[in-house]
Amino acid sequence: MEKYLFPRVKNEIQFEDFTRDLLNLIYQDNSFQLYGRKGQAQYGLDGYSTIHPIFFQCKHKSSPHVKDSKFEEELDAELNS
C-alpha cells in the first residue's frame, strides 16, 4: 500500500473507527459496527457485520519502528491465548 498515504492514527478508538469505516466502504453496505466500549468485556472482538459472517479485531501499535516479525509474534500470541 505504498501508493497510499494515511494520516497517523492517534489512538485505538480512532483506529477502530477507521477500520469499521474502511470495511463499510469496501463492502458498500454500512453493515459493520463496533462492539462494546473500552473497558467492557469484548472477548477480543472490536467489531462485526450485521449481514456478513465477518468479525474484526484491531491492534493499534504506537511505534512505527515495530518490525513485522515482532508484530506477527504478538498477534499469534494474542490469537492463541
Residue 75, pLDDT score: 67
Q: Quick one: average pLDDT of 13-39? A: 92
Check whether 62 has a pLDDT greater than 70: no
Is residue 47 within 8 Å of residue 55, measured between CB atoms? yes
Residues 6+ apart with CB under 8 A from 78: 44, 59
Is residue 46 within 8 Å of residue 35, measured between CB atoms? yes
Q: What is the CA radius of gyration of the chain?
A: 14
Confidence of residue 42 (pLDDT cuts 50, 70, 90): confident
Confidence of residue 65 (pLDDT cuts 50, 70, 90): low
